[in-house]
């Protein structure tokens, strides 16, 4: 099999990510609705989407502003939610190796849950999916997010709630499909169970704040994988 | 400066710093041995935690839909079909279970 050119790899990613982009569009429109409640303009929403480019943290930060919690609380809530991005870019270190600074900056900025997970799923299936796959998927998600969020502010009154049409479950279902592709066999069972168990325990007992349960679960599973691996 | 602009600029700077820090942490960790093997397991663990987190805030309707989505994923290995089955199942389950 001849290796794909960067362009072909990016285009295949943009094609593969279309179902997820549909989910991003619905959430983008809903975020625009929220931003309109915070009296944000199209310009502010567009700049926020382009520069922050992390949907869930944008939603949380704007919710905090609407609740009157103040700018500092909004920033802290958004940043806490984004700490997982450190694990995301650290976990695909091979794609950034030996690249010029601008490609590292671009590839880091465009890394989101969706295109990162899809890239890994694609690799799990044995396909070529590296730096340009992440960038291609990230660009399509980015354009979708910018169009949907700014349109959401402009046409705030015409947008249905994601939950009313079941779209709040779209990403959960997508990540279940991606987990299926990532499953490598028995070695994954215990680490994944630990990750899920820590999240369930943290959420159930309320001992770990929601922004940290995800990171705690992911790291706990990873540590167990490091301790139990014997190959 | 107004509140939205302050939030946008600080959140953007912090988020980019987090993403870039991850790249450098990844590059500086050992390429072989136990830590490297652990790092290979990180994506699956993080996505499993992500799904667990989202399901822990749901109820029986979401858990039913997750079961349907998992069965579809195992049977078809298809992302769009799994998403469609999950969304359809959650709508039906919420209507049925309230």
Instruction: Name the residue of chain A whose CA is nearest to B10's CA.
Output: A75
Do the beta carbons of residue A61 and residue B12 sit within 8 Å?
A: no
Structure tokens at A36: 């309109």
Nearest to A60 by CA among A47, A50, A75: A75
Instruction: Assign residue B77 a region (left: φ > 0; alpha: ψ between -120 and 50; beta: otherwise).
Output: left
Instruction: Assign residue A112 a region (left: φ > 0; alpha: ψ between -120 and 50; beta: otherwise).
Output: beta
Sign of CA dihedral B9, B15, B18, B20: negative
| Cβ–Cβ below 8 Å for A200 and B69 | no
Q: Which of B14, B54, B69 has the CB atom closest to A79's CB atom?
A: B14
pLDDT per residue rounded down to tens, chain B (98 residues)? 689 999 999 999 999 999 999 999 999 998 888 888 888 899 999 999 989 999 998 999 999 999 999 999 999 989 999 999 999 999 999 999 86
Q: State whether ipTM is beyond 0.95.
A: no
Residues of B in contact with A65 (CB under 8 A): 3-4, 7
Q: Which of A19, A48, A118 has the CB atom closest to B8's CB atom?
A: A48
| Contact with chain B for residue A212, Cβ under 8 A | no
Q: Is a pLDDT exceeding 60 seen at residue A101?
A: yes
pTM of the model: 0.87
Do the beta carbons of residue B92 and residue A195 sit within 8 Å?
A: no
Do the beta carbons of residue B52 and residue A196 sit within 8 Å?
A: yes
Nearest to B79 by CA among A130, A27, A15, A29: A15
Output Rg (C-alpha) for chain B, integer angstroms.
20
């Amino acid at each position: 099999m001849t290796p794909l050119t960067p362009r072909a790899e990016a285009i295949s990613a943009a094609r593969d990510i279309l179902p997820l982009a549909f989910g991003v569009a619905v959430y983008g429109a809903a975020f625009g609705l929220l931003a309109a409640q915070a009296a944000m303009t199209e310009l502010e929403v567009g700049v926020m989407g382009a520069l922050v480019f992390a949907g869930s943290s944008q939603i949380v930060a704007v919710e905090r502003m609407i609740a009157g919690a103040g700018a500092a609380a909004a920033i802290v809530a958004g940043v806490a939610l984004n700490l997982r991005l450190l694990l995301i870019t650290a976990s695909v270190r091979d794609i950034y190796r030996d690249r010029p600074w601008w490609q590292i900056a671009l590839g880091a900025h465009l890394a989101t849950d969706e295109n990162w997970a899809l890239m890994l799923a694609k690799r799990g299936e044995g396909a070529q999916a590296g730096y340009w796959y992440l960038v291609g998927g990230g660009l399509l998600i980015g354009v979708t997010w910018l169009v949907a969020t700014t349109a959401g502010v402009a046409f705030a009154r015409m947008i249905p709630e994601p939950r009313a049409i079941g779209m709040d479950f779209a990403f959960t279902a997508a990540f279940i499909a991606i987990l299926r592709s990532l499953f490598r066999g028995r070695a994954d069972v215990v680490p994944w169970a630990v990750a899920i168990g820590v999240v369930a325990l943290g959420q159930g007992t309320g001992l770990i704040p929601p922004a940290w349960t995800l990171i705690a679960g992911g790291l706990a599973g990873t540590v167990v994988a490091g301790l139990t691996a014997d190959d | 400066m107004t509140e939205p602009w302050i939030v946008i600029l600080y959140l953007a700077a912090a988020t980019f710093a987090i993403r870039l820090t991850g790249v450098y942490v990844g590059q500086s960790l050992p390429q072989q041995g136990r830590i490297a093997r652990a790092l290979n397991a990180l994506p699956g663990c993080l996505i499993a935690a992500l799904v667990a987190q989202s399901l822990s805030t749901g109820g029986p309707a979401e858990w039913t839909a997750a079961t349907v989505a998992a069965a579809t994923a195992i049977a078809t290995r298809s992302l769009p079909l799994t998403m469609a089955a999950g969304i359809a199942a959650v709508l039906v389950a919420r209507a049925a279970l309230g």
